Amino acid sequence: MTKYLLKRIFYMILTLFLVATITFFLMKFMPGSPYANEEKLTPQQIHIMNEQYGLNKPLIVQYLLYLGGMLHGDFGTSFQYSNQPVSSLIAARLGASVQLGLQALIVGVILGVIIGSIAAMKQGTWVDSTATVIAIIGKSVPNFVLAVLLQYYIGLKLGWFSIAGWGDFSQTILPTIALSVGPLAETARFIRTSMVDTLSSDYIELGKAKGLSRMEVIRKHAMRNSFIPLVTLIGPYAVALMTGSMVIENIFNIPGIGEQFVKSILTNDYPTIMGVTMVYCIGLVVILLITDIIYGLIDPRIRLAGGEA
């Protein structure tokens, strides 16, 4: 297990290093100037600013400085918000994004598990068909379309929840719903398939032959076996939530990292783009690693196979 983990961590670091390198050089070769309204600046001013941002040093030095800085959590200085370090810019916005992402994940997974399980238990009935329709629609309707509709009809017309901003809990409700629909649909589909598979397995039959009632068989044998594989979906969910947060935060005007990312892209704020890119990648590799460890802990088959390797 330790050997496996070390190997995983090595690949994590390699991945992050490659991403850092690639983003750095891509950004360096970008055409155009990083400064807003460059035409108004004198060559002298540009020279001073280049010095300030370290842009006049040889490329390789800039690269090493960048990598070195990143080890201390320093992603450089934003071009747009003068003198503000990218790291503090991100730090100030990470909280809202993480909270929104977690809320959406929890709501989506819990509802998805419930819908998927009920559909599997009532396989072939109208309950099952309804759940399938919900899942297909949830998977097909883009979350930003849903977000706009929720914001207008529920937020504005009905006035039930706040339509924008970030602060109190009621402001998080609509964006959470919009963001949770994807994981919800995916979970419901996954759990239904997994549960139907499990319910038709021999050990469920043996459970019935032991004299357990249907609910006892489901509770004691079917649930654990069909829910465990859900852990493997956490990685893809994280990616979907990162993607979703970019647009949802924009629509609901939430000061999160996704909204910042879009802003940086539109304004060519390369240090911030690189910083957010790294934060997303670090987030994902860490989540993937944790997922792996959790899976090993809760599935005895993997736990022991890993132990022997």
Binding site for another protein (CB under 8 A): 11-12, 14-15, 18-19, 22-23, 26-27, 29-30, 123-124, 136-137, 139-142, 144-145, 148-149, 152, 156, 193, 201-203, 205-213, 216, 220-221, 224-225, 228, 239, 242-243, 246-247, 250-251, 261-262, 265-266, 268, 273, 277, 280-281, 284-285, 288, 299-301, 304
Task: Give the Cβ contact number of residue 6 at 10 Å.
Answer: 10
Closer residue to another protein in complex, CB, 103/226:
226
Residue 85 structure tokens: 């370090």
**Shortest separation between residue 30's beta carbon and another protein, angstroms:** 7
> How far apart are CB 181 and another protein at their closest, in Å?
12
**CB nearer another protein, residue 45 or residue 123:** 123
Compute the least distance from the CB of residue 156 to another protein, in Å. Answer: 7
Burial class for 141, CB neighbours closer than 10 Å (0-12, 13-18, 19+): middle
CB 105 to another protein: min, Å: 15
Q: Please say which residue, 18 or 48, places its beta carbon nearer to another protein.
A: 18
Please, which residue, 103 or 151, has the CB nearer to another protein? 151
Beta carbon of residue 159, minimum distance to another protein (angstroms, whole number): 14
Q: Are 74 and 257 in contact (CB under 8 A)?
A: no
What is the smallest separation between the CB atom of 154 and another protein, expressed in angstroms? 14
250 with 178: CB under 8 angstroms?
no
* Dist. CA 188–CA 135, nearest whole Å: 6
Beta strand ranges found along the chain (DSSP E): none
Which amino acid is it at 31? P
Nearer CB in complex with another protein: 38/205: 205
Question: Which residue, 40 or 157, has its beta carbon nearer to another protein?
Answer: 157
Give the DSSP per-residue string, 145-185.
HHHHHIIIIIIIIS--S--S-SSSTHHHHHHHHHHHHHHHH
183 alpha-carbon distance from chain centroid: 11
